[in-house]
Amino acid sequence: MAMEDTHMRQSLCGILIGAAAVVATSSIAFAGEQKLEFKLVTRLVNPTTVVEAANIEGQTMIASKAVGVAYFKDGRVASKDFILTLDLRNGSGPYKGYSTYTFEDGSSITASFTGERKAGESHGIYTILSGTGIYANATGTGSFDSVPTKFKDAILYDGKFDVKTP
């Protein structure tokens, strides 16, 4: 009986250690660094404020809320809510803003961005400020580039995040 009891305790100990390893591994599955690639479609939302500069032809400043949908390579989808300002001369110039990507599970990534619009093309960079859910306390960077499209009132982008989580 004593030998059976010892064997049972060793087996139980092995199972518990294995289970603890599985739990530890799964809880850090999203910890560390992740590269997230996505396609993004955005659209400005009314009311958009456009102000033209006096005595400077083609100079405008724009402030707007905007929305978008991001389709990630891993199959997930996120809605994007953001605000931005643009300082454009004849359609080209810098912009900046803040955006939050919210995934279907409720997790989110919030980032600031800056960019440049030139000759109808756009390039920008993200600085990840925070996150929730699986991206809690996230930091990192990212980028986005416009993709030529025939959409009239929407813009298509290729984007990526390099996300770091504790």
**Tens-digit pLDDT profile for residues 91-111:** 999 999 999 999 999 999 999
SS3 80: strand
For residue 23, is pLDDT > 90?
no
User: Does residue 90 come out as left (phi exceeding 0), alpha (psi in the -120 to 50 range) or beta?
Assistant: left
Average pLDDT for the chain: 87
pTM recorded for the entire structure: 0.80
SS3 136: coil
d(Cα 124, Cα 145) in Å, to the nearest integer? 7
For residue 27, is pLDDT > 90?
no
Can you tell me which residue has the tokens 């479609």? 41
Element (H, E) at 24: helix 2-27
Q: What is the mean pLDDT of residues 130-140?
A: 98
Q: What is the mean pLDDT of residues 10-33?
A: 46
Handedness of CA 58, 60, 65, 71 (dihedral sign): positive
Element (H, E) at 12: helix 2-27
pLDDT at 46: 82
Q: What is the mean pLDDT of residues 118-134?
A: 97
Task: Give the tens place of pLDDT for each residue, 31-47.
Answer: 799 999 999 999 999 88
How many C-beta atoms lie closer than 10 Å to residue 63's C-beta? 14
CA end-to-end distance (rounded Å), the chain: 48
